[in-house]
Structure 1
Amino acid sequence: MDQEGLMFPKTQKKRKKRMKHPRSILHEKNGTCYLCMLLDGNHKKHLLLDEHHIFGGPNRMHSEETGLKVWLCLDHHTMGTLAVHRCPDTMRLMHRIGQQEYEKTHSRQQFIEIFGKSYL
């Protein structure tokens, strides 16, 4: 039906742009915790893992789109003393690792344009 004759024509709804969800460029979801393997050499399988975006806050979406995310056990994500959300040193370590991995295929300037600063 033609909308030109309507007093209040219906507006076309804009569709949301679908977000890309690529795989992590650091770690495959296989039941292991990235930090358990990195810090302890422990390849134990965990029943529950959380997805952690290395660069959070306003950069969370960029982290998702570039694959800068890892799978962490609860101790290394939120609960333990070395948890990435509780320990600034662990967070800095993850930022450095994430930037180094990104810079294997991109330049530092490209990283800074996306994430706002260099963590190295």
Structure 2
Amino acid sequence: MDQSGLIFPKTQKKKKKRMKHPKSLLHEKNGTCYLCMLLDGNYKKHLFIDEHHIFGGPNRKHSEETGMKVWLCLDHHTMGPLAVHNCPETMRLLHRIGQQEYERTHSRQQFIEIFGKSYL
């Protein structure tokens, strides 16, 4: 037995590194949909909006850390025919816009090192 009185003492776990959650580089969370504003010029407030990470899958964490996210209405996020999860063209548009915005303050090489390739 050790000093704690336990037969099998607990091992010290490393603390999980806290993820950064910066604001979106493209859009404020104010009830508007980024794609409604971009495609239709519609600035109306929506009752429900979802956070969408522009670069998903294995790059979702990088999207969160770099502010590569936008707020979308349900029609533009998952439900409508032009929704980013239903329409590859809409997804490519957001990829290009996200990369252009990132490259305002960083190099293309830095973008590629984080996200794996260029979308431009």
Q: Which TM-score applies when normalising by structure 2? A: 0.93
RMSD: 1.6
Q: Which amino acid aligns with 1:70?
A: V
Amino acid at match of 2:49: L
Instruction: Quickly say closer, same or farther: Cα 1:79–1:5, change in 2 above 3 A.
Output: closer
Report if the CA contact (8 A) 1:50-1:74 is conserved: yes
- Confirm or deny that 1:16 pairs with 2:31: no
Question: 8 Å contact 1:75–1:83 — kept in the other structure?
Answer: yes
Length, aligned pairs only:
119
For structure 1, the 5+ residue unaligned runs are: none
Percent identity of paired positions between Structure 1 and Structure 2? 87
Measure, in 2, the Cα distance between the counterparts of 1:80 and 1:6: 58
Secondary structure (helix, strand or coil) at the match of 1:64 reads: helix
> What corresponds to 1:42 in structure 2?
42
Question: Any residues of structure 2 matched to 1:82-93 within 5 Å, and which?
Answer: 82-93=82-93
Instruction: Report the counterpart of residue 94 of structure 1 in structure 2.
Output: 94
CA shift at 1:4, angstroms? 9.2
| 1:71 counterpart SS class | strand
